[in-house]
Structure formats: C-alpha cells, structure tokens
Amino acid sequence: MKAIITVVGMDRPGIVAGVSTVLAENSINITDISQNYVREFFTMILIVDFEKSKATLKEVDEKLKVVGKKLGVQISTQHEDVFKAMHRI
C-alpha cells in the first residue's frame, strides 16, 4: 500500500527528521519527497510505501499527528487511492 503524507507549517529545524523518524521506526519507505520553502512557510509532500510495515495507516497517522503538534505543523496522511480520487477531474 502507498500513502501520501503532507506537511504544512512554519519552517523550523526538525520537521523532516521528525517525520522521517516515525516512518523509519515503522519500516515505511519514502519513495518520493518534495519540499518547498516560501519565506518562512514550509510544505512537504511524501509518497510512502507500507509494503514492509506492520503498522496501519491509522496508527502511523496518529503518530505523525503527535510529532506535528510538537513541531507546530499540520500533518495529513491519506491512502494513495483516496488521494487520487479526491484530485480526479
């Protein structure tokens, strides 16, 4: 299963480390990543692969939200199929 993770907030040290640590601890591979800075604002989109993970999407989403709260950013996790359906024209 693949998922899309989005991170949005004010830029600060530790955002990438916090997100990638949760993913690594749950054996989730980052297959693509894009990040952007606009003035003091930070955005990041990750495509991740749960193939080797025993964690559920919900479990990982909850862990990422805890990290996001600590870092002052919003983190959203969606199944790839849901993301594609929401963005279909």
Which tokens belong to 65? Answer: 């939200």
pTM value is 0.89
> Structurally, how many domains does the chain consist of?
1
Provide the 3-class DSSP secondary structure of residue 5.
strand
- 3-state secondary structure at position 13: coil
Per residue in 10-39, pLDDT (tens digit) is 999 999 999 999 999 999 999 999 999 898
Host domain of residue 75: 2-86
Contact yes or no for 64/17 (Cβ under 8 A): no
d(CA 29, CA 6): 15
CATH at residue 14? 3.30.70.260
